[in-house]
Amino acid sequence: MIAFDIPTKYYTIAEYLEMEDASDTRHEFDNGTITEMAGGKLPHNTVKLEALTIANLAIRKAKVPHMALNSDTKVRIEATNKFVYPDGSISDGTPEYYVTPNGTIRRDVIVNPLVIFEVLSNDTRGYDKTDKFDLYCTIPGFREYVLIEPEKIWVKQFFLEDPANNLWRHELLTDRNATLLLRSINLEIPLEEIYAVLDKLPK
């Protein structure tokens, strides 16, 4: 059998965004190539929803301009020419929309995430814990990264303690009675409130 090299299809930003607008599935953009995103299982989706709902309620109560945004909102990573779909994000103040090279304002893409949440899965766990964090760190103003295991009590938070020296710290929470402190906006999220939803699911 003769093997043939199949050339990779490269897309412009305009082609990607146009295709994404018409697609029933979501795709991430990596400097011209696109990758279809897999759907999440029920524990993943419910934990994701709970975390963002709790964050949103806390933000509303604090009356701050930040917004909690769900996984339908893309984040632009300018330094590496990427568009990604984090599981959730909190904007650095009022959301700032991405503006395309031709001047179109994209209200489905932000450029100023302050906090990013990723709920881990077998397909994404390794990437979310390593390379994806490095990519997010190239975004100006990005300050906190929260990784959440959806089927056991495990939350790992990275926070930028010293921006001048790019010094990040991390904290691992494995106690259901622990509280996640989002230091960049001084908001507390009890882990009990995130994981209580799992008690409603079949074992």
Q: Name residue 6's beta-bridge partners.
A: none
- What is the predicted pLDDT for the residue at 91? 98
| pLDDT tens, residue by residue, 18-28 | 999 999 899 99
Considering Cα of 68, then 70, then 71, then 76, what sign does the dihedral take? negative
pLDDT score of 109 more than 80: yes
Q: With contact defined as beta carbons under 8 Å apart, do 84 and 75 qualify?
A: yes
Residue 1 has pLDDT above 90, yes or no: no
β-pairing, 113-119 vs 144-148, is parallel
Q: What percent of the chain stands above pLDDT 90?
A: 84
Confidence at residue 167, expressed as pLDDT on a 0 to 100 scale? 94
* pLDDT computed for residue 3 by the predictor: 44
Note the pLDDT tens digit of each residue in 50-96: 999 999 999 999 999 999 999 999 999 999 999 999 999 999 999 99
CA distances 53 to 47, 68, 103, Å, are 10, 8, 33
Each residue of 142-168: pLDDT tens digit?
999 999 999 999 999 999 999 999 999
Beta bridge partners of 97: 110
Name the percent of the chain lying above pLDDT 70. Answer: 97
Least confident of 31-45, 100-114, 130-144: 31-45
pLDDT of amino acid 2 = 46
3-state secondary structure 122-174: CCCHHHHHCHHHHHHCCCCCCCEEEEECCCCCCEEEEEEEEHHHCEEEEEEEC
Q: What angle do CA 99, 131, 31 make, to 5 degrees?
A: 40
Contact 148, 194 (CB under 8 A): yes
- The upper half-sphere exposure of residue 33, i.e. CA atoms within 13 Å in the direction of its Cβ, equals 5
